[in-house]
Amino acid sequence: MADPRPKLLIIEDDEGLQRQLRWAYEDYDVIIAGTRAAAIDALRAEEPAVVTLDLGLPPDPDGTSEGFATLAEILALKPDTKVIVASGHGARESALRAIAGGAYDFYQKPVDIDQLGLIVSRAFHLHGIEAENARLAAAAGADATVLGGMITAAPEMLKVARTIERVAPANVSVMLLGASGTGKELLAKGVHQSSKRRRGPFIAINCAAIPENLLEAELFGYEKGAFTGAIKTTEGKVELAEGGTLFLDEVGDIPLPLQVKLLRFLQERVIERIGGRKQIAVDTRIVCATHRQLEEMIAAGTFREDLYYRLAEIVVKIPTLAERHGDVTLLAKHFVGRFAREMNPQVKGLAPDALAALNDWGWPGNVRELENRMKRAVIMADGKLITAADLDLASDGPGEPLNLKAAREIADRRALRQALARSEGNVSAAAKLLGISRPTLYDLMKQYMLQPEG
């Protein structure tokens, strides 16, 4: 008979501590592993909900490299696992790095059994809630929303969301790295809304969208008369973010002279407006984002290394839409529902060829491209179901069909739409082009939910 107790995997190479932890957690089905290989074998075989992980594993017992490699492998295989890491090596640095890497929580050695027990209990409770929410969402076909607005069911993106929820309460700078259109501003708002500053303002500025000669005034403000056109004293974005969060989008586009002034603010937490002499203290949290490779810019001398480390206390890498398994379909259906209500209520969903085309496309513009394409498709659709042609993604190979029937449906639908388009919606003319009778064409249009125009 299967053990009904929740499964807890303890990854620890100290045999004495192994025995102590096994005894302390008798309410759980405890599995012990002393190496990364044994831990991964146990993860595959037992699928524990919660793992405690000593970062100092052999063959690097005095460091953390093997522990971090184990953490990464666990979360790659089973992203919903709650991993609690422990180390006596550089506790704060290891804690930040582990949480940024997806760990649920952190505790410092020597082990306090009661404290760790509380963390383990909370981890099991949270895992249970998340599992039940996922089950209910799947059963209802509902969108999975995280951080108050982002829609995702992809393990890759849920891992990012969990990381942000963990780091948001800490007063540290967060850098979001990801391609354009991946939702960096939405995640930045998630940091703000999950933090202790959520009642304060969220101020965003796109550093790439403002000319270099105006960016300093936008950030730090200016005094009346500081330059031609400065007819009144104006607060900058930094000052407006007092008590809240300042989001610097495309921070890699800040010019070097202004990087110096931003670094000074981060070090001293005071600013001076352009044309002013008074130092103004500002308490704001910095969240920044960029699609640029800052390490390469540092090497090229176009981005200051000291500024990078001030901004990147926590670095969160955002996957592209193509890397978010299952999210293309989930987001497409969400956008169809939203835009159809606003623009074309007859649209009810996506045809099989549209789903195939959506999942075959590489999405270089990420979620922003998908949103724009779905909006256009809803506006252009003349049937109840959006097709690959509506998406402007029709091709000779829109994905491998399920079977011969599905392949024929794709071909029939494409031929019908082409004939109706060439005949400008005249059903009689379209039937003649297809070599079929008008009643047959009406039957096919009804079957494929295409709206008659003539």
Return the CATH number at 48: 3.40.50.2300
Residues 53, 181, single domain; the answer is no
Please classify residue 209 by burial: count the beta carbons closer than 10 Å to its beta carbon, then call 0-12 exposed, 13-18 middle and 19+ buried.
Answer: exposed
* Residue 222 DSSP code: B
37 vs 90, residue with greater confidence:
37
Task: Look up the domain containing 48 and give its range.
Answer: 7-139
Residues 398, 427, single domain; the answer is yes
pLDDT at 433: 82
Residue 158 lies in a domain: no
Residues 6+ away with beta carbon under 8 Å from 417: 387, 389, 450
CA angle 390, 140, 83 (to 5 degrees): 105
Which phi-psi region, left, alpha or beta, contains residue 424 (left: φ > 0; alpha: ψ -120 to 50)? Answer: left
H helical segments located in 91-211? 91-100, 113-140, 155-167, 184-193
Contact status, residue 363 vs residue 331, Cβ threshold 8 Å? no
User: Is pLDDT above 80 for 92?
Assistant: no
Q: Among the three residues 266, 285, 319, which one is the final residue of a domain in this structure?
A: 319
**Weakest-pLDDT range from 79-88, 203-212, 338-347:** 79-88
Residues 172, 315, single domain; the answer is yes
Give 285's strand partners: 245
Q: Which of 61-75, 211-225, 243-257 is predicted most confidently?
A: 243-257
Contact status, residue 446 vs residue 440, Cβ threshold 8 Å? no
Residue 343 lies in a domain: yes
What is residue 443's three-state secondary structure?
helix
What are the CA-CA distances from residue 304 to residues 2, 48, 254, 288 (Å)? 57, 44, 10, 15
Residues 289, 368, single domain; the answer is no
| Strands 150-151 and 145-146, sheet pairing | antiparallel
Residue 134 lies in a domain: yes
Q: Which residue type sits at 232?
A: K
Q: For 245, phi and psi rounded to 5 degrees?
A: -130, 135
Residue 156 lies in a domain: no
Q: Is the pTM of this model over 0.75?
A: no
Contact status, residue 192 vs residue 173, Cβ threshold 8 Å? no
Q: Among the three residues 273, 288, 319, which one is the final residue of a domain in this structure?
A: 319
Helices 438-447, 427-434: crossing angle, 10 deg rounding: 100
Cα distance between residue 186 and residue 441, in whole Å: 47
Residues 114, 212, single domain; the answer is no
User: Is pLDDT above 60 for 89?
Assistant: no
What is the number of domains present in the chain?
3
Cα distance between residue 92 and residue 287, in whole Å: 20
Label each residue of 270-281 as H, E or C. EECCECCCCCEE
Residue 454 lies in a domain: no
Give 7's strand partners: 29
Residues 309, 405, single domain; the answer is no
Residue 199 lies in a domain: yes
Cα distance between residue 47 and residue 155, in whole Å: 16
Residue 159 lies in a domain: no
Residues 52, 68, single domain; the answer is yes
pLDDT at 112: 84
Residues 225, 348, single domain; the answer is no
Residues 188, 116, single domain; the answer is no
Residue 453 lies in a domain: no
pLDDT at 247: 97
Q: Which residue type sits at 179?
A: A
- Number of Cβ within 10 Å of residue 141's Cβ equals 8
pLDDT band of residue 407 (cuts 50, 70, 90) is low
| 390: enclosing H helix or E strand | none
What is residue 286's three-state secondary structure?
strand
Residues 406, 287, single domain; the answer is no
Residues 6+ away with beta carbon under 8 Å from 383: 346, 347, 448, 449, 450, 451
User: Is pLDDT above 70 for 403?
Assistant: no
User: Is pLDDT above 90 for 367?
Assistant: yes
The tens digit of pLDDT for each residue in 305-345 reads 999 999 999 999 999 898 888 788 889 988 998 999 989 98
| Strands 349-350 and 202-206, sheet pairing | unpaired
CATH code for the domain in which residue 439 is found: 1.10.8.60
Residues 6+ away with beta carbon under 8 Å from 16: none
Cα distance between residue 178 and residue 184, in whole Å: 7
User: Is pLDDT above 90 for 283?
Assistant: yes
Residues 438, 358, single domain; the answer is yes
What is residue 383's three-state secondary structure?
strand
Q: Among the three residues 293, 319, 345, which one is the final residue of a domain in this structure?
A: 319
CATH code for the domain in which residue 241 is found: 3.40.50.300
Cα distance between residue 12 and residue 110, in whole Å: 13
Residues 352, 442, single domain; the answer is yes
Contact status, residue 357 vs residue 169, Cβ threshold 8 Å? no
pLDDT at 257: 93
236 vs 91, residue with greater confidence:
236
